[in-house]
Amino acid sequence: MADEQKDEKKNKKVNRMTLSEVDAAIKKTQEHMKGMNSKYAKELVGRQAELKAKK
């Protein structure tokens, strides 16, 4: 039971997301917040740039 809860964790830190998770989070943020002006959205874009630079 405890293992299932870990796998279904709702929130994940931005600095631990993979590129695909960041892309999905950016898409979801754009749909719900109608833009990329929030601090969360800016952090996602920064993480996306960081991951693409490593690739």
Domains of the chain by residue range? 12-54
pLDDT class for 2, splitting at 50, 70, 90? low
State the pLDDT confidence band at 4, using cuts at 50, 70 and 90: low
The pTM (predicted TM-score) of the whole model is 0.77
Q: Quick one: pLDDT at residue 11?
A: 83
Q: pLDDT (tens digit, 9 = 90+) per residue, 9-50?
A: 678 899 999 999 999 999 999 999 988 999 999 999 999 999
Phi/psi-derived region of residue 18, left when phi > 0, alpha when psi is between -120 and 50, beta in every other case: beta
> How many whole angstroms separate alpha carbon 19 and alpha carbon 2?
27
Q: How far apart are CA 15 and CA 6, in angstroms?
A: 18
| 25 closest CA partner among 2, 54, 52, 47 | 47
